[in-house]
Amino acid sequence: MDKSSDLTFCVDCVILDVEGTTTSIKFVKDELFPFAASHVKRHLQDNWQIRETRDDANAVLRQAEEDSGENLADVGNDNQDCVIDRVVKLVQDMIAQDRKVPCLKNLQGKIWKKGYEDGRLKGHVYADVPTCLKQWREDVGVQVYIYSSGSVAAQKLLFAHTEYGDLTQFLNGHFDTAVGPKTASESYVKIATSLATPADKILFLTDIVAEARAALAAGMRVVLASRPGNAPVELSDGEHFPTVSSFADIVLEKSTE
């Protein structure tokens, strides 16, 4: 792709989505999600005596209660095996439905941690990502952040254990849905405020049009990522976002303001 003027940005910060942008959707759907679904029971059984694990289970039950309106028992009020089986079923259902709820993302991150650390999981990023992250940070001098529905802990694990080594050295920080939904413009306003950076000096890359619209409404510059396996982009009449298939198509210049 030609490096046209609408792919040249004078910014101070870049914010990257993960799934479908830095990382293959196929990796998330076919490796990460099944790993969490198949290992959640063992994780709960092995760590049940740890208060944090029981709190995680309670959070799943509370989410199910909120979803259904039913009053579910606290983990301390029922047989351990029964509670674990119930939580496992709920977690597996949430994974199958691709729920973005914090209780699931938090628990998934803890399950993936062991997989990354013992080598069963290796984080996928597209081949252009390591080179561009290094260039943007070291040569251009912009700050690079991640904003994903996956928990901050899960983000750090993925980028610390990629096929290209530890890429966290090129990242300045992370955001997850604790800052707000990715389709809400207020979330991007909060991020810009937390970075003490004008929104128009921030470039956001994502594969999701609804997220692109939200970031644009907050005043950010936006580029859509077109990666293999991504859903077709559907824009409204007259709507336009610069689109790239590789981060290398983007030209960044450091803001002098």
Give pLDDT, residue 166.
Answer: 98
Whether 29-117 and 5-23+124-254 are alike in CATH topology: the answer is no
Average pLDDT over every residue of 216-241: 92
Q: Is the dihedral of CA 184, 221, 195, 155 positive or negative?
A: positive
* 9 and 201 Cβ atoms separated by less than 8 Å: no
CA distance 200 to 92: 40
Closest CA to 6 of 201, 244, 227: 244
Write down the CATH number for the domain with range 5-23+124-254: 3.40.50.1000
Q: Specify the pTM.
A: 0.89
Domain assignments of the chain as residue spans, ordered by start: 5-23+124-254, 29-117
Give pLDDT, residue 163.
Answer: 94
Q: What is the CA radius of gyration of the chain?
A: 20
pLDDT at position 123 over 90: yes
Please, which pLDDT band fits residue 78 given cuts at 50, 70 and 90? low
Average pLDDT over every residue of 205-224: 98
* 104 and 149 Cβ atoms separated by less than 8 Å: no
pLDDT at position 256 over 80: no
Please, which pLDDT band fits residue 168 given cuts at 50, 70 and 90? very high
Q: Please list the residues that pair with 60 across neighbouring strands.
A: none
pLDDT, one tens digit per residue, over 36-66 is: 999 999 999 999 999 999 999 999 999 999 9
Please, which pLDDT band fits residue 5 given cuts at 50, 70 and 90? low
Write down the CATH number for the domain with range 29-117: 1.10.720.60
Please, which pLDDT band fits residue 1 given cuts at 50, 70 and 90? very low
Give pLDDT, residue 236.
Answer: 85
CA distance 124 to 107: 20
Average pLDDT over every residue of 97-115: 94
CA distance 61 to 23: 30
Q: Is the dihedral of CA 242, 246, 250, 255 positive or negative?
A: positive
Q: At what angle do helices 51-68 and 102-117 cross, to 10 degrees?
A: 140
pLDDT at position 88 over 50: yes
CA distance 166 to 180: 27
Please, which pLDDT band fits residue 76 given cuts at 50, 70 and 90? low
Which of helix, strand or coil describes residue 174?
strand
Q: Are strands 202-206 and 13-16 parallel, antiparallel or unpaired?
A: parallel
Cβ-Cβ contacts under 8 Å for 83 (sequence gap 6 or more): 57, 73, 75
Which of helix, strand or coil describes residue 229?
coil
Average pLDDT over every residue of 174-190: 97
Give pLDDT, residue 191.
Answer: 99
